[in-house]
Structure 1
Amino acid sequence: MLAIISIASLAALTTAEDLVEVWGIAKCPDTTKFVRRQLLPFYNSFDTFPDDFKLEFHAVPAHGKTVNGTYIVRECAESQEGEHLLNDENAYRYHAAPNSAWIPWIQINGVRVQDAEKNLWKRVCELESMAQTEQCKNF
């Protein structure tokens, strides 16, 4: 589920003034809980986001060697290209969030907001770019 979100949905958003970045690890219980309880309900409530808002989800694959289904995920993960992609993602994470030892790690405009793990919607709705959206008027 995490790879689908980051590839199909969030990565296609445009450059923005307000940036919310989330780092997580695939199959991590804390990341899964955050995605299900916070990120997906928030994301799914919007048809479109304001032009000056950007949401990025970075899922780092980890744990387990068993891949079920028909996709060629395992081949990618074990390939040289897969290794380069993982290295690039980790390099970006350590540059953008150098102290991100805790996962999920949520940054809003470059600053870690630990409270966003439980109150993502509220924290994002405090941003100027989001305050006037229909979904944020109740916060």
Structure 2
Amino acid sequence: MFQCANSDEGRLLMAKHGRESLNFGANINWVPWIAVNGLRIPAAEKHFEAVLCNQYFDPQPPECQSLRS
């Protein structure tokens, strides 16, 4: 994920995400601004996979087994 974010394509995707985030209606002042079902999830900015596995996947896929709670 880090390698993608620092690539040319990653920077373009981050800029696109920033433009789309303007429609979210919140005081967004950086990207990635992660929201799920219309709610901002600050913990997902650093622990995206863990947040998805622990809060949104039921049942959890096998990939979640390597993540800590």
The TM-score bracket by the shorter chain reads 0.5 to 0.7
1:109 to 37, 56, 59: 37
Q: Which has the higher contact order (CA 8 A, sep 6+)?
A: 1
Q: 5 Å matches for 1:20-99?
A: 26=11, 58-60=13-15, 90=19, 92-99=20-27
Stretches of structure 1 lacking an aligned partner (at least 5 in a row): 6-25, 27-57, 61-85
> Normalising by the residue count of structure 2, what TM-score does the alignment of the two structures yield?
0.58
More strand by share: 1
Structure 2 SS opposite 1:93 = helix
* RMSD (Å), alpha carbons: 2.6
Residue 132 in 1 paired to residue 66 in 2? no
Change over 3 Å in CA distance of 1:97–1:134 after alignment to 2: farther
Bigger radius of gyration: 1
The residue identity in structure 2 corresponding to 1:127 is Y
1:123 to 28, 38, 51: 51
Report runs of 4+ in structure 1 exceeding 6 Å deviation.
none
Separation of aligned partners in 2, 1:120 and 1:97: 22
> Normalising by the residue count of structure 1, what TM-score does the alignment of the two structures yield?
0.34
Structure 1 SS opposite 2:29 = coil
Change over 3 Å in CA distance of 1:102–1:116 after alignment to 2: same
Stretches of structure 2 lacking an aligned partner (at least 5 in a row): 1-6
Query: Sequence identity, in percent?
Result: 24
Separation of aligned partners in 1, 2:61 and 2:37: 19
